[in-house]
Chains A and B, each alone.
Chain A
Amino acid sequence: MAWFNKIAKGIQQQKPKEIPDGLWLKCESCQEIIYRKELEKKLWVCPNCGFHIKIDASRYLQILSDENSFQEKDALLRSTDPLNFSDSKSYPERVKEAVKKTGLNSALLSGTCTISGIRVSLAIMDFRFIGGSMGSVVGEKVARAIERAIELKIPLLIVCASGGARMQEGILSLMQMAKTSALLSILSEKKLPYLTILTNPTTAGVMASYASLGDVIIAEPKALLGFAGPRVIKQTIGKELPENFQTSEFFREHGFIDIIAERKNLKVVVSQLLKYLYLPK
């Protein structure tokens, strides 16, 4: 399972970049120069071409939740180094850098909030933190978010952004797929709604577990989704990949996504769905 940031360069989509500083910003899709204030107002969607720029978990929280309704949970969970893993850098060093860069302890922000007045258990992944990769902490926080939904009898919403499982935790990362999928089966038995929002990119281990298991699956436009990375597929089959391959639109056409919603409509779509699936009839 690969991280998106190492595999997709130059193929299909651009590598998602974090928002740089500066008053004027260039859209990575159409290259148009845009005033920062304008982008902020448009929720970081290019006014020229509609490209959805990668945003962090706190911005999604702002977009989705009712003001001042969020209570963060499990914020102190931190990665350890179960394999004593080291490549060009040691794993603890990588984590430390990510913590410093993002101000977060992990690649997932979770808690409860209300969305149009409906209380939900919410989890939002943050791609800036080691490519949104899922290790034990992300898996555990998702597990607790599921259990919170069950305990409080409220819906679960997960916003996904991930290149897959975190290699530095080896087999422990892989098992987070099993752990989260197994717990979601309990949530499902309890008939509590589970919605997922897939953002650019959601691939590999996360896509092959909780991201694909929503009762309703929503995706932002033109996100890169899928199991294998485009470069791996290209190398395997030795052919060019079709246009729009592995985009949100591709997966909707093939029957794996329910709704493609622009960022500005996410909250409305989620609220509507919850009214059908959750609120008393």
Chain B
Amino acid sequence: MGEYFLAFEKPLYELRQKVQELREQQALSALDLSRELNSLEEKLKNMQRKVYSNLSRWERVQVARHPNRPTSLEYIKNMVENFVELSGDRNFRDDKAVITGLGMIGTHKVAFIGQEKGKGTNDKIFRNFGMMHPEGYRKALRVMHLAQKFGLPIVILIDTPGAYPGIGAEERGQAEAIARNQFEMAQLKTPIVIVIIGEGASGGALGIGLGDVILMLENSWYSVISPEGCAAILWRDRGEAPKAAQALRLCATDLMELKMIDRILPEPPGGAHWDPITAINTVKIEISNELDKLKNIPYPQLIQARINKYRVMGAWEEN
């Protein structure tokens, strides 16, 4: 992993550097440095906790976008056993911004769908930065129907800066594809567990985001519009994104308060990119638990509960 860090992470990286140096020194030296090492490690943990518990919403958006944050492919590698990737929407092409397939999560056979932003320039371009085209939404829906047909629950990881805004995307009905997926997902006769692992930008996320349980990693965001998009429209300046992020209340704790998600999944101190394996393991256990709970619910009840969940969302007065 590259030594990329965010501005507020700098002291943390410096301290971690010191810990590593001391470790190397210990390995070469006869002196017992364990006390110094322990206290320095303790200091690092405390500092991580302190820095990360006081992040502004905009800083959290940066964490969600961190280049070293684990993306769907790393989740597949570390969480899904015997993964068989399935490709294409059977109509136009295979959208690389979304990965679909079959696999095992713990003891559960699942259909897996995950948005993939890519790592490194070439891979990011290959994955279109995780921005799906209509054929991506249709690819996901095809695999969801497959899951329904063969009685597999569906696990969906969300991580996208938005649905792709382009000529081809409009020609092939981006809006229709996103609308259709919500409509179809509402009636799927199989459990759907959604986890927002990074960025949940608007319709691009919701297009594969309707389910029975919605979980959100601590440092991810989910919003009606990106902070930059909101700033460009309401403040007429993309540079005001930090203000927009604050106003939009797009962090996990906000969504929990607003009753838009079911639970927040904690990340390791410093965020998922400091310890991807621990973060992925948390997600794996939580998905497994949810599937255990959902698997015995008869589907008419499941569907009714799923629709009711969305039916009550909103805030209004009537007098």
Binary contact track B195-215/A, C-beta < 8 Å → 1, others 0: 000000011001101100000
Neighbouring A residues of B225 by C-beta, 8 Å: 1-2, 165, 167
- Contact partner, B224, options A167, A179, A251, A254, Cβ 8 Å: A167
- Contact partner, B311, options A183, A189, A213, Cβ 8 Å: A183
Report the bound CA distance from A189 to B319 in whole Å. Answer: 33
**Quick check: B171 and A254 within 8 Å, CB to CB?**
yes
Which A106-123 residues have C-beta < 8 A from chain B?
Answer: none
Which A158-174 residues have C-beta < 8 A from chain B?
Answer: 165-167, 169-174
A248 sits at the interface (CB 8 A)? no
B42 sits at the interface (CB 8 A)? no
B183 sits at the interface (CB 8 A)? yes
**Quick check: B249 and A2 within 8 Å, CB to CB?**
no
**Quick check: A227 and B175 within 8 Å, CB to CB?**
yes
B166 sits at the interface (CB 8 A)? yes
A199 sits at the interface (CB 8 A)? no
**Quick check: B202 and A174 within 8 Å, CB to CB?**
yes
**Quick check: A173 and B170 within 8 Å, CB to CB?**
no
Neighbouring B residues of A44 by C-beta, 8 Å: none
**Quick check: A212 and B179 within 8 Å, CB to CB?**
yes
User: Whole-angstrom distance from the CB of B159 to the nearest CB of chain A?
Assistant: 16
- Contact partner, B183, options A184, A211, A242, Cβ 8 Å: A184
- Size category of the A interface is 35 or more
User: Whole-angstrom distance from the CB of A220 to the nearest CB of chain B?
Assistant: 17
User: Whole-angstrom distance from the CB of A74 to the nearest CB of chain B?
Assistant: 8
**Quick check: B183 and A213 within 8 Å, CB to CB?**
yes
**Quick check: B170 and A82 within 8 Å, CB to CB?**
no
Most buried by A among B175, B224, B311: B224
**Quick check: A172 and B206 within 8 Å, CB to CB?**
no
Closest to B319 in A: A76
Report the bound CA distance from A240 to B249 in whole Å. Answer: 35
- Contact partner, B167, options A83, A189, A207, A233, Cβ 8 Å: A233
**Quick check: A227 and B174 within 8 Å, CB to CB?**
yes
Query: Assuming A83-B247, A172-B258, A228-B165, is B234 touching A1 (CB within 8 A)?
Result: no
A62 sits at the interface (CB 8 A)? no
**Quick check: A182 and B260 within 8 Å, CB to CB?**
no
A24 sits at the interface (CB 8 A)? no
**Quick check: A172 and B165 within 8 Å, CB to CB?**
no
Select the stretch in A25-33, A64-72, A134-142, A262-270 that faces chain B. Answer: A134-142
**Quick check: A208 and B187 within 8 Å, CB to CB?**
no
B32 sits at the interface (CB 8 A)? no
Neighbouring B residues of A167 by C-beta, 8 Å: 224-225, 230, 233-234, 248
**Quick check: A237 and B311 within 8 Å, CB to CB?**
no
B169 sits at the interface (CB 8 A)? yes
**Quick check: B255 and A177 within 8 Å, CB to CB?**
no
Neighbouring B residues of A250 by C-beta, 8 Å: 170-171
Report the bound CA distance from A229 to B175 in whole Å. Answer: 12
**Quick check: A87 and B260 within 8 Å, CB to CB?**
no
- Contact partner, B182, options A79, A182, A189, Cβ 8 Å: A182
Neighbouring B residues of A246 by C-beta, 8 Å: 170
Neighbouring A residues of B169 by C-beta, 8 Å: 227-228
- Contact partner, B202, options A1, A182, A210, A242, Cβ 8 Å: A1
**Quick check: B307 and A3 within 8 Å, CB to CB?**
no
Neighbouring B residues of A169 by C-beta, 8 Å: 224, 315
Report the bound CA distance from A210 to B317 in whole Å. Answer: 23
B316 sits at the interface (CB 8 A)? yes
User: Whole-angstrom distance from the CB of B9 to the nearest CB of chain A?
Assistant: 27
Which B298-313 residues have C-beta < 8 A from chain A?
Answer: 306-307, 310-311, 313
Neighbouring A residues of B306 by C-beta, 8 Å: 182
Binary contact track A138-165/B, C-beta < 8 Å → 1, others 0: 0110010000000000000000000001
Neighbouring A residues of B316 by C-beta, 8 Å: 77-80, 136-137, 140
Report the bound CA distance from A189 to B165 in whole Å. Answer: 32
Query: Assuming A80-B317, A184-B183, is B167 touching A208 (CB within 8 A)?
Result: no
**Quick check: B318 and A185 within 8 Å, CB to CB?**
no
Report the bound CA distance from A186 to B202 in whole Å. Answer: 24
User: Whole-angstrom distance from the CB of A161 to the nearest CB of chain B?
Assistant: 15
Report the bound CA distance from A179 to B182 in whole Å. Answer: 9
**Quick check: A171 and B255 within 8 Å, CB to CB?**
yes
**Quick check: A233 and B165 within 8 Å, CB to CB?**
yes
Can you list 15 pairs linking A and B with CB atoms under 8 Å apart? A80-B315, A87-B247, A135-B314, A136-B313, A173-B224, A174-B206, A185-B183, A204-B175, A209-B178, A212-B173, A212-B179, A227-B165, A228-B166, A233-B165, A233-B170
B75 sits at the interface (CB 8 A)? no
**Quick check: A189 and B171 within 8 Å, CB to CB?**
no
Neighbouring B residues of A177 by C-beta, 8 Å: 179, 182, 203, 206
Query: Assuming A78-B318, A137-B316, is B180 touching A170 (CB within 8 A)?
Result: no
Report the bound CA distance from A226 to B171 in whole Å. Answer: 9
A170-B247, A236-B166 known; 5 other A-B pairs, CB under 8 Å? A76-B318, A88-B235, A175-B206, A186-B307, A208-B175
- Contact partner, A82, options B178, B209, B258, B319, Cβ 8 Å: B258
